[in-house]
Structure 1
Amino acid sequence: MRMAYLFVSNVQHEEVAHRRGEVPSHRLFFAVELRELGHDVHLCPWRVPSWVPGAAQWWKVAQAIWCAVIQGRLDAVVCTHEAAANAPLLLKAMGVLRVPVVVLTVAATGEPYRADDLAGRVRRRLLREADRLCTFSSAQVRQLAEILGIDERRVSFVPLGVDTDFFRPRVGRPRLDYVLAVGTNEGKDYPTLVRALSPGERLVVVTDEDNISQARAVMSDQDVTFRSHVPISELREMYLECRVMVLPLRDIGISTGQTVLLENLAAGTPVVVSDIPAVADYVGGGANPVVVPPGDVAGLRRALQSVGSAGADDTTPPRSAKDSADLLAGLIRRETVRGSS
């Protein structure tokens, strides 16, 4: 199949970095694996100069126009995020873009898409134009169909897979005595983690400024180091050396925590994760990860104390990105067949 792959921002530098072995393939949302499966995957070559006001938004528009220009050579358009889908879905609603559009959703079950204001209604109206919507959580399939008022059969669960060559265990490597927590967005609950630390426990948190502010607000004398914008190659080393990875999550109805969870399971790192629907498809079947109720300070503290530093022997390996790409390709093909009939 011939497909255009649309992103929130220009990812050509990520493509180059992946070829150098510097970033995992799943940063490109299965584009690499689809190519390996024999599909012709195109990324937008157009650029918008950074000095142009609103360059990031104009680039999304340019990307959609590029799709419309080359659609005669395409079987489908794949949008890797709702924010990447707005412009092409508008063109589809106008009758300008006529090839099937498949959208990988991350936040479409969150509050902005449920809101009854003008922005919420516009978001829902545009997503209804998609031929196929995909979620990374089976719990979100029915939710998304109900939010948009569409047939549930137009929404599919695609289990998230990761680059299991980039992330893999290193047998015999000693682990250091610190707790690691990684992840951005409003789905993280670092205040609960800070409160759950035992005296003397060292914690390193890699996140954004908003989450750092929330965590600092509940701190007293805990030993916590905050970092931001850590390269993925360095994060991989931290995964392999920490005593345990902790993913304290809030159930806010969006995909959250899944990628970091799967990267660490692939690396053989002991993991403690909050029991929310977004990660339910990726836990169970082994002693790792340890699952605790969200917001449970005492339960999280007990889990941290129970996890050893030797590594996670009883871990079910996560799905590979190539397996996920194969499933996604089947869904895309179904839409191309439907569109041509």
Structure 2
Amino acid sequence: MTEAELAGLGVHRIPVPIPFPQAGGPVNVYVIEERDGGILLFDSGLGSPEGHAALEAGFARIGRRFDEVTRIVLSHGHVDHYGAARFVQERHGGSIPVFAHPADVSKVAEAGWRWRDRAPLYAAHLARLGVPAETLAAVATEGERGFGLARRIAEVRPLEPGTILETRHLRLEVLHMPGHTPGLLCLHDRERRLFFSGDHLLEKVSPNPLIELGPDGRDGHFRPLLAYVESVGRMRALDLDLVLPGHGPPFSGHRAIIDALLGFYERRQARIREVLRDGPRTAYEISRALFPSARPGDAFLTISETVANLELLEARGDVVREEQGGLRRHRLAG
């Protein structure tokens, strides 16, 4: 299905530039025509000057106005997906309701948690995983820079899975697909076999399974890769003609992409087992073996990826963790 055919279904894609090359390209804002002539936005893009300009140009290109937006639905609580919601509200000139899954509301709401408040908890946890002080400083700087590209939203309403969003041409079912975040949402039109995936499935990039600490700083309350394997399996079972992702152009053949992605994770886990054959290692040491060229500022991403695969290996009984002297190490079981 071409973009022109999607426009015939009242769906328009606006790519918004972002400064995160590992994300897989510009983030997509989907403008979906409502029954009453208004607009539903699925994601809002990044809250940077370049992001705002891209949104304005995209609205002008499709002949729509910001005051026509009736609601904003967020796929998940990352800055490139919610960062411009306040800008859209201000350009609208009135009140636009914003919706997100309950598990991600605290990431985007004004009353939610802030990076500067949570950063010490993450620093302490990463130190337990073996991250050296200079790398911790780089991670803190990168986090502050990223969260500065979004403004929090005064009120975010919870959107429950199973809700049906009726638009001009589509009947979109809200699906909870945790993994990339605990509260990632996708939209599915069963009749037209369309699937708005957010960052749940991308054509050329694997979604980062990111470390999620509990309110008290403890880990383990959410294991992203285990959740992702389950939810992407549910997506694989769907009959789909087209996936409209959070980054990159729409694509088909979702089952082949999912199978390749799961194979990629299997190979990564095999590499981790290979590293551990030489003896116990911290997650940081394993991540350096997996990503030898990564910048210090990317350490949160690379360690998150490493830890998520270790959690899956632990769940399978292949790997055991050990805590000693304030450090966590992993070894092969048996």
Tell me the TM-score normalized by structure 1. 0.33
More strand by share: 2
Higher relative contact order, structure no. (Cα contacts within 8 Å, ≥ 6 residues apart): 1
